[in-house]
Amino acid sequence: MEWVSLFVAGLFEVVGVVGMNRIKRDNDVKAYLLFGIGIVFSFLCLSFAMRSLPMGTAYAIWTGIGTAGGALVGMLFFGESHDWRRILCIGMVLVAAVGLKLIS
Amino acid sequence: MNRSWIYILIGVLFEAAWVIGFKHAADPLAWLATVASLVISFYLIIIASAKLPVGTVYAVYTGLGTAGTVLAEMLLFAEPVQPAKLLLIAMLLAGVIGLKLIGGSSAAKEAEH
């Protein structure tokens, strides 16, 4: 359950980042809602996950999913660069996160 | 050393504080301190980003934050030292820092400004 919660925390972080980008672009209520809901639920899920997981591992994976997920969303939906080095970095984050889950 | 870098270093300390709080806080006062640390660390990263490129600030911040958290749990909370785990965390961190430094369109826009 804590691993699911950690993964969901990373996804909500992506929601928060999308909200932050929309605040810059649209600056409407929906953008602030996305941002608020994203970060609040992200931290709630993270704190639940960290109660049973080692904090260094949980923190690293949370940041990793948030960053790699944000980059993926940017590449798929917001026309960001598909530079092969970015794809390599996303792959490294995912492989490392899965590896951390496997050795825990 | 310019002032923004001092904000980053202090921010990283608050970052480590809230992460430790998320794991170990047990009473309302400890939770209050945890949430305060969270807000302060975000505030410091935002004001540091006003003068420095966001990608760089975030890369340094996450790098130091992760290293600090992993060190703290081994030194202060007797978490076992597992080389395989440290290697995987280093690899994950390299990916995150790479993404922040290479950037997407936002980095290009920042450069135009």
**pLDDT tens digits along B56-107:** 888 898 899 999 999 999 999 988 899 999 999 999 999 999 998 887 655 4
* Cα A88 from Cα B47, distance rounded (Å): 31
pLDDT of residue A77: 87
**pTM of the full predicted structure?**
0.89
- In the stretch 35-64 of chain B, residues with CB closer than 8 A to chain A read 38, 62
- B52 has a pLDDT exceeding 90: no
What contacts A104, CB < 8 A, 6 or more positions away? A53, A54, A57, B85
Task: Report ipTM (2 d.p.).
Answer: 0.89
* pLDDT range class, residue B54, cuts 50, 70, 90: confident
- In the stretch 16-45 of chain A, residues with CB closer than 8 A to chain B read 43
Structure token pair of residue A92: 């490294």
Across the interface, whether the CB atoms of B85 and A68 are under 8 A apart is answered no
CB-nearest partner of B92 from A55, A60, A80: A60
**pLDDT tens digits along A24-48:** 888 899 999 999 999 999 999 999 9
Structure token pair of residue B49: 């980003």
The Cβ of residue A54 has, within 10 Å, a number of other Cβ atoms equal to 21
Across the interface, whether the CB atoms of A59 and B66 are under 8 A apart is answered yes
DSSP B25: -
